[in-house]
Amino acid sequence: MARGQVIIIGGGISGLSAAFDLAKAGVPHTLIEKQPRLGGVIETRRWDDCLLECGPDSFISAKPEAMSLIRELGLAGEVIGSKDDERVTYIQHHGKLVRLPEGTTMFVPTRPSSMLASPLVSWGTKVRMGLELLRGPKTYPDRSVSEFVTDHFGRETLDYLAEPLLSGVYGGDPDQLSAGSVLPRFVEIERKNGSLGRTLIRTHATRNGPLFRALKGGLGCLIERLAAKANVVHGAAEAIERRGDSFRVRVNGDWSDADHVVLACPAWAAAELLAGVDGRLAVLLGMIPYTSSAIAQMVFRASEFDGQRAGTGFLIPRVERRRLMACTFVGTKFPHRVPADKITLRCFFGGAGNEAVLDESDEELIAVAREELRAIIGLTAAPIFANISRWPRSMAQYIVGHGARLQEIESRALALPGLHLAGNAFRGIGIPDCIRTGREAADRIIAS
């Protein structure tokens, strides 16, 4: 392996973003990726004339970091927005699919008339939602998402709105997830204004543009562009040692020296690598749990599709879930990805406590997905193509106490000049957050 002044470990979006800025600034770097493929959980495949996103399918528009990078890479013309006007999400409620009331921001109702008309929650919960408008500001110690949501809107809102919606993002357990880390904006509103409903009703009309964005050719295009700028070596980083003010990293048995190391791999992998550098830091990183998931994508002939066409897709709340967590109708969300004569469904499995799903064979998972789709939307047609993607230990969980742990992690990392942490384990798991962590690491290196 070529000697690099900077070694980046992990070739997902975080590591590639760091490599991009270093390359731009002319700083020599080597990016180590243990898989033969770059991109980490971002993977775009094509089958026939269908575009299949095997991991993430889009990024949130409200955070600017993904768009900035896309512009810098000359990909702005490739950006497409989610069709929010046509966005209809269903939630399973007592075995039937019920429309998510319009104007619901996460689990917060911002259009009272549509929530009042919805059968998704009972009248008792609707009254509770009304009373929430009267709440005054209050500060709480970090508490779970379950406690936070139940306190504001009651248990039914947790079960039928917050839990299924958050499962889609974190694959996590709301009893464990930290409100302060997962819902920082809402906790801030609680502290400053009290009522989430009152605040969001006031600000709801101000959003411009689509909620989510993606690339016409898939997020894989972003990876390809970034990869072209990075100096990549495929191999597994096995250990890191501190040598005076610098480091050495063992990759496939060979040691290389580095003034800076960017750990852009999952926190559990960083923990293993850092055990000999700072044992306490390794323990703290290892305490960040991760969940695993699997996505089964199936393509059907539109002419044979005999199931309910459930808008952009549906979510199954934990209280009603058997195996399937959620299902997206890809062509409704992003029409460019599916031709008119086909329908692609993306079925999500796994999440907290359901990791065993990854051990099942492709055939077993497809059979489970088909059985679930038969029960929920009455689909009996056979897919003409199916693809399973497994993402073991890939989604960091910000559990209660994450904020305090993070402070200790950051102060210990700061005490090791030249060591940089990036990735989804810290301050946001979405693509824009990961890009930010990678680029911030590069900025610090360039500045030094």
Q: What are the residues binding ligand FAD (CB under 6 A)?
A: 9-15, 32-35, 40-42, 55-59, 236-237, 264-266, 269, 293, 295, 391, 394-395, 423-424, 429-431, 434
**Residue with structure tokens 């760091």?**
18
Measured from the CB atom, is 40 or 109 closer to ligand FAD? 40
**Closer of 7 and 310 to ligand FAD (Cβ):** 7
Q: How far apart are the C-alpha atoms of 421 and 437, rounded to whole Å?
A: 8
Task: Give 90-134 as a 3 state SS string.
Answer: EEEECCEEEECCCCEECCEECCHHHHHHCCCCCHHHHHHHHHHCC
Q: What letter represents residue 54's amino acid?
A: C
- CA distances to 107, 262, 269 from 13, in Å: 29, 13, 16
Rounded to whole angstroms, the Cα distance separating 302 from 338 reads 10
Query: Is the Cβ of residue 350 or residue 383 nearer to ligand FAD in the bound state?
Result: 350
User: Which residue lies nearer to ligand FAD by CB, 110 or 424?
Assistant: 424
- Which CB, 227 or 429, lies closer to ligand FAD? 429
CB of 54 to ligand FAD, least distance (A): 8
Half-sphere exposure of 275 (CA within 13 A, CB side): 7
CB of 429 to ligand FAD, least distance (A): 4
Among 394, 426, 236, 301, CA closest to 50? 301
Buried b (16+ CB within 10 A) or exposed e, 400-431: bebeebbeebeebbeebebbbbbbbbbbbbbb
Beta carbon nearer to ligand FAD, 13 or 22: 13
Nearer to ligand FAD, 193 or 389 (CB): 389
Smallest distance from ligand FAD to CB 143, Å:
24
Q: Which residues contact 86 (CB under 8 A, 6 or more apart)?
A: 311, 312, 332
CB of 231 to ligand FAD, least distance (A): 14
Min dist CB 129 to ligand FAD, Å, is: 28
Rounded to a whole number of angstroms, the minimum distance from the CB of residue 66 to ligand FAD is 8
Q: Which is nearer to ligand FAD, 125 or 394 (CB)?
A: 394
Q: At a CB cut-off of 8 Å and minimum separation 6, what does 70 contact?
A: 76, 78, 79, 215, 222
Enumerate the β-bridge partners of residue 240: 249
Query: Closest distance between ligand FAD and the C-beta of residue 403, in Å?
Result: 19
User: Min. distance of Cβ 377 from ligand FAD in angstroms?
Assistant: 22
